[in-house]
Amino acid sequence: MLHVSRTAWVGLIALAAIFGTEATVAETLRTGGTGAALGTMRLLADAYTKIEPEFSLEIVPNLGSSGGMQALNHNAVHFAAIGRPLKSDELARGYIALEYGRTPFVIAIARSNVAGLTLREIADMYAGRVSKWPDGTPIRLVLRPANDGDTPLFASFSPAIKEALDSAMSREGMIVAVTDQDSATEIARIKGALGTSALALMLSENRPLVAVPIEGVRPSVQALADGAYPYFKSLYVVTPGKPVAATARFIAFIGSPEGRRILTQIGHWIPPSAGTAPAR
């Protein structure tokens, strides 16, 4: 994982302080990237407008992490929100990635009568060995594309889940949700559905979904911080080496006490130093 120290945040805060001496002008920033971050960026922007009423943020949907970086390359967004570290070619362009939080990566359902699942039970569901919930409702899997970052992340839960997921991906007639938002919508819409999501997305967008406890551990910010729940997505904001003034000020706000309070409320654990993961 890319190591991003506190120094990067300190640098942006210093830039924001310098830019803060300039006259504030109305400016709309644009961002896009991983669906897990979009609701969070919207809530942070809403809070930030109480400090800078002239500020506004336009969120470009349906880009994903790679699309967000492509948009940044073409100056179509001022910063990207992504769910992975920067690649070597992106680092070579001088981009700066700041890890603003980690959110539990979860098995999501719309049902309220599931106390929890084991890794083996999840594998059995994806392999097709278990095709119904205890009340007889058919289990409907909502998959993500093979090239989406959530697919290998889910496969990393266990060797049995990887094998079962490979099997599910090869079966015809499966439901495949292209974006994070599509996945959450389909899980909520389809009776008996089961799929992956991010706790931050579910909370920031007020989705009617339940994060299923796995091996007796409920996904939460505290469980992630304690290392009791080991499955998570790292989330980053990415800027050019010299971001525009409004971008620097907004991202400095994300790392401020108020920004961190909001992040924690909507499903983010903020590690004491970037690049240090909870024990797996």
Per-residue pLDDT of the chain (280 residues; tens, 9 = 90+): 333 444 454 445 444 444 443 444 457 899 999 999 999 999 999 999 999 999 999 999 999 999 999 999 999 999 999 999 999 999 999 999 999 999 999 999 998 789 999 999 999 999 999 999 999 999 999 999 999 999 999 999 999 999 999 999 999 999 999 999 999 999 999 999 999 999 999 999 999 999 999 999 999 999 999 999 999 999 999 999 989 999 999 999 999 999 999 999 999 999 886 433 333 2
Task: Tell me the pairing of strands 140-143 and 175-176.
Answer: parallel
How far apart are alpha carbons 59 and 77 in whole angstroms? Answer: 9
How far does the chain reach from its first CA to its final CA, in angstroms?
Answer: 15
The model's pTM: 0.88
CATH number of 6-102+233-265: 3.40.190.10
Residues 101 and 251 sit within 8 Å (Cβ to Cβ): no
**Residue 136, CB half-sphere, CA atoms under 13 Å: how many?**
0
Residues 193 and 186 sit within 8 Å (Cβ to Cβ): yes
Q: Is 165 strand, coil or helix?
A: helix
CATH number of 104-226: 3.40.190.10
Q: CB neighbours of 23 closer than 8 A, spacing ≥ 6? A: none
What is the residue type of 248? A
Which residues belong to CATH 3.40.190.10 in the chain? 6-102+233-265, 104-226
Q: What value, to the nearest 5°, has the Cα angle with vertex 280 and ends 84 and 146?
A: 40
Q: φ and ψ at 269, to 5 degrees?
A: -95, 130
How far apart are alpha carbons 237 and 214 in whole angstroms? Answer: 29
